[in-house]
Structure 1
Amino acid sequence: MVSSFHGLELGKRGLSVGQASIATTGQNIANVNTKGYSRQQVNSSASPSLDVWTGQGANTGQLGTGVNLDSITRVRDRFLDQQFRDHSETLGQWQAKQTTLDRLETIVNEPSDSGLNSAMDLLNSAWQDLANEPDSLSAQAVVKERAQSFIEVAQSMNKSLDSLKSELTQESQATAEEANGYLKQIAELNKSIVRDGSQSNDLKDKRDVLVEELSTLMSIKVDEKSNGSYSISLSSNNQQLVSGEEVFEVDHKTGTGENKVYGGKLAGLSESIDIAKSYQDNLENVVGDFAAANSMSATGGKDQALFIGNAADFNLYEVKVNYEASLLKQPAATEKTSEAAQSDFRKLVSQLGAQSQAAIHSVTNHGATLQATENRRQSVTGVSLDEEMANLIKYQHSYNAAARLVSMTDQMLDTIINRMGN
């Protein structure tokens, strides 16, 4: 025999699930613009039924007892999350390289009327004027001034390249520290999630935001344990970074390509340092070849060498103009060898332009891929106001119907308890 109060219990459970559904929908609506928020949903199931005697002899029937509130969970797609992290890592690497190449283009400053190529052209033109008037003191002075301008432009570029490498090294160190900060915060959230339970939705959202920020800095793999904590490792060599509450910090490395194992922005910065160093070496070779083509000796004095410098062990910061030279004369092979040096410089400029364009295209393409992945992910985990408003109406009707069931059961009980004896 079913209890007379069965209807009240059934209605109460319906009210409980309806109320939770309405509250969860309100939470979704309130956080529609919150960064990193994952849409939440109420998971319910039919509660265990009761066995009741029926008119089928020894066989019993089953009478439903309502609904159980099982959980309130986030809606996430782990596959899309990992795709997003992978694309984010690649984009972070290319963005670091593109920024460096943009700065290199600013330093090289070509084509320009004040760049190195223009300074070389002006010196060649000064030599031609001196060839027309070999005994002209003013023509010799112009050659020296043009040579000084060439050296100043080259040394200024070299100094800017030194500053760029130093800044990239500092940025790489700061990025490693930033990554370690994210790792520590993730470990702390792991601790809180394990303590509060695996359904700590808001804490998990905060943790996922940190993981996505970390994925820009390095290439990572994420494994969620049964207790809700994350285990994070490097994609390249499976080096452990976070295991529960334990953190394994990354060490910044300044050697050539040393940060490649980390991937992401860290690898991009390491490659950027190598790129800057390569262009600095090429620049020094061009300046050394051009200076040697225009006559250079290790000592000054009144000989005919225009530049003072060591051709065998050339140092751009040490080369200078020989202002004591009184009988300057253009070397016989200057025109041919100078043109070769200028040609090398133009190749360097063209290579830089091509690399910069390639980096821009890569950033654009990977950015579009990342955005497409994010759009697919938002279609799953994002909050749609139209959908939530429809759900709100549905849950409201469900709640009202459960309330009506309780009211009707109350009237039935009132009849049985208070009126049947009259």
Structure 2
Amino acid sequence: MVSTFHGLELGKRGLSVGQASIATTGQNIANVNTKGYSRQQVNSSSSPSLDIWTGQGAHTGQLGTGVTIDSITRVRDRFLDQQVRDHSETLGQWQAKQTTLDRLETIVNEPSDSGLSSAMDGLKNAWQDLANEPDSLSAQAVVKERAQGFIDVAQSMNKSLDSLKSELTQQSTETVAEANGYLKQIAELNKSIVRDGSQSNDLKDKRDALVEDLSKLMSVKVEEKANGSYSISLASNNQALVTGEAVSEITAEDATNTPQKFGGKLAGLDESLNTATKYQENLTTVVRDFVQANGMSGTSGKDQALFIGDAANFKLSELKVNYEADPLEQQAATGKTSADAQSDFRKLVSQLGAESQSATNSVANHSAALQATENRRQSVTGVSLDEEMANLIKYQHSYNAAARLVSMTDQMLDTIINRMGS
């Protein structure tokens, strides 16, 4: 026989589920603008039925006992999560390269009235004026001043390139430390999630946010274990980074020696360092060829060349003007001419412009791909106020109906208990 209070139990369970659903909907609405928040939902199912005797002889029927809450879970799509991480890694790599190429364009500063190309033209014009007036002291002084101006521009560019390379090295070291910090925080959250249970939704949101920040720095694969913890490894070679609470930190030496193993911003910084080094070497070659075409000697003196420098072991930072040279005569070029050196510099500028434009386009393309993937993910995991408001009304009606069931059962029990005996 069914318990007299069966209806109360049914209503109570309905009230519990309705209350939990309304509270969860309120949580979603409150966090509609919270970065990294995943929409939550109440998962419920019919509670086990009771066997009762029916008019079918030995056969029994089953009477429902209401509803029960199975779990309150986040709405996530792990495949979209991985796509977002992949796009973030590629975008982080290209952004690092684009930033460096933008800096290089600023350093080269072409086309410009104060750049290296203008300084080359200025010295060329000064030589032409001196050729027209070989005995003019003022024309000789102009040649030397134009040569000094050329050196000042070239050495300033070289110094800026040294600073850029130093900054890139420092950024790489800081990025490694940042990545290790994320790995430690993820391991700590793994520990908390395993301790508190696999339905620790807020902790999981925080962990996923950290994983996405980490994916901008390096390319990672994520595997969720049965106990709710994450195992994180490098996508390139499956090297373990986080296993439960254990962390395998990366080192700056690894990031420098094998940058492509990591991908992301770390690889982009290393590629940027190589790019800066390449352009500095090309600049040094252009300057060496140009000064040799205009006359360079290892020592100063009246009968020596316009520039002082070591042709065999040329260092741009040690290049000087021979102010003692008198009379000045432009030496015949034994290698490349001044025009050849200027042509090489124009090629350098054109190549830099093309690389910078390519990086800009790549950043734009990958940003668009990341945004499109993020939009798809938000359609699954994000909070829609319209949907939550509709759910709120639905759960409110459900709660009211369950409350009405309790009131009706109470009235029935009142009739049985208090009125049947009168």
Tell me which interval the TM-score lies in, with the shorter structure as reference length: over 0.9
Q: Distance in 2 between matches of 1:265 and 1:374?
A: 20
* Corresponding residue for residue 22 of structure 1: 22
- CA-to-aligned-CA distance 1:112-148 (integer Å, 9 cap, x gap): 0000000000000000001101111111111111011
Residue 159 in 1 paired to residue 159 in 2?
Answer: yes
- CA-to-aligned-CA distance 1:176-230 (integer Å, 9 cap, x gap): 1011111111111111111110000001111111111111011000111111111
* Corresponding residue for residue 119 of structure 2: 119
* Corresponding residue for residue 378 of structure 1: 378
Once the 2 structures are TM-superposed, how far is the Cα of residue 259 of structure 1 from its aligned partner? 1.7
* Contact kept in structure 2, 1:131 and 1:330, CA below 8 Å: no
* Corresponding residue for residue 314 of structure 2: 314
* Contact kept in structure 1, 2:42 and 2:72, CA below 8 Å: yes
Letter in 2 for 1:170: Q
How does 1:236-255 map onto structure 2 within 5 Å?
236-253=236-253
| Residue ranges of structure 2 left out of the alignment (5+ in a row) | none
* Corresponding residue for residue 56 of structure 1: 56
How does 1:51-130 map onto structure 2 within 5 Å?
51-130=51-130
| Range moving further from structure 2, 78-87 or 327-336 | 327-336
Identical aligned residues as a percent: 82
Q: Distance in 1 between matches of 2:254 and 2:236?
A: 19
How does 1:250-329 map onto structure 2 within 5 Å?
250-253=250-253, 258-329=258-329
| Range moving further from structure 2, 318-327 or 34-43 | 318-327
- CA-to-aligned-CA distance 1:204-262 (integer Å, 9 cap, x gap): 11111111111101100011111111111110111111111111111113886632211
How does 1:212-231 map onto structure 2 within 5 Å?
212-231=212-231
Q: Distance in 2 between matches of 1:188 and 1:330?
A: 71
* Corresponding residue for residue 395 of structure 2: 395
* Contact kept in structure 1, 2:292 and 2:333, CA below 8 Å: no
Q: 1:256 to 1:170 in 2, by over 3 A?
A: closer
What TM-score results when the alignment is normalised by the length of structure 1?
0.98
Q: Distance in 2 between matches of 1:391 and 1:254?
A: 51
Letter in 1 for 2:290: F
Once the 2 structures are TM-superposed, how far is the Cα of residue 332 of structure 1 from its aligned partner? 3.5
Q: 1:141 to 1:260 in 2, by over 3 A?
A: same
Q: 1:71 to 1:411 in 2, by over 3 A?
A: same
* Corresponding residue for residue 411 of structure 1: 411
| Range moving further from structure 2, 55-64 or 21-30 | 55-64
Once the 2 structures are TM-superposed, how far is the Cα of residue 311 of structure 1 from its aligned partner? 1.2
Q: Distance in 2 between matches of 1:120 and 1:229?
A: 63
Q: Distance in 2 between matches of 1:325 and 1:254?
A: 52
SS of 1:123's equivalent in the other structure is helix
Letter in 2 for 1:227: N
Once the 2 structures are TM-superposed, how far is the Cα of residue 336 of structure 1 from its aligned partner? 6.9
- CA-to-aligned-CA distance 1:353-372 (integer Å, 9 cap, x gap): 00000000000000000000
* Corresponding residue for residue 132 of structure 2: 132
Residue 349 in 1 paired to residue 361 in 2?
Answer: no
Q: 1:196 to 1:360 in 2, by over 3 A?
A: same
- The count of corresponding residues between Structure 1 and Structure 2 is 422
* Corresponding residue for residue 339 of structure 2: 339
SS of 1:233's equivalent in the other structure is strand
* Corresponding residue for residue 178 of structure 1: 178
SS of 1:11's equivalent in the other structure is helix
* Contact kept in structure 2, 1:256 and 1:271, CA below 8 Å: no
Letter in 2 for 1:376: R
* Contact kept in structure 2, 1:257 and 1:270, CA below 8 Å: no
* Contact kept in structure 1, 2:96 and 2:268, CA below 8 Å: yes
| Residue ranges of structure 1 left out of the alignment (5+ in a row) | none
- Segments of 4+ moved more than 2 angstroms: 253-258, 331-336
Q: Distance in 2 between matches of 1:256 and 1:73?
A: 41
Residue 38 in 1 paired to residue 50 in 2?
Answer: no
* Corresponding residue for residue 148 of structure 1: 148
